[in-house]
Structure 1
Amino acid sequence: MKIQKAFTSTDVHVAGEAFRIIKDAPFIYYQSLPQLDEEFPQIYADMIKLLLNEPRGFAGLNGCLVVPPYSREADAAVVFFTHEGTVPFQYGGAVAVITALLECGHLPQKKSNEYKLETVIGVISVRAMVENDEVISVELISETCQTVQTNIPYKNTHYTLVQADQLYAIFKKSDVSFELRMEDLAEVQKWGHEVNKGLNSDRSIKEAVLMDDSFFPNGRIKTITFRKDNFIVRSPGFGTTAACYTSLLADREFSMNQPFKNESIFNSFITVQLANQSEIGYQYSLTSRGFITGMQTFVLDPTDPLAAGFLLK
Structure 2
Amino acid sequence: MIIVMEQSSDPKLTDAVVTRIRELGYEPHLIQGSNRQVIGAVGDERGKMVLQSIESMPGVESVVPILKPYKLASREVCPEPSQVEIQPGLVFGGDELIVMAGPCSVESEQQIVETAHAVKRAGARILRGGAFKPRTSPYSFQGMEEDGLKLLATAREETGLPIITEVVNPRDVELVARYSDIMQVGARNMQNFALLKMLGQLDKPILLKRGMSATIQEFLMSAEYILAEGNRRVIMCERGIRTFETATRNTLDISAVPVLKEQTHLPVVIDPSHATGHSSLVPSMCYASVAAGCDGLIVEVHPNPEKAASDGPQSLRPAAFADMMMKLKDFADVSGRTLPGVGGSL
Structure-2-length-normalised TM-score: 0.29
**Which structure has the greater CA radius of gyration?**
2
Tell me which protein shows more helix as a share of its residues: 2
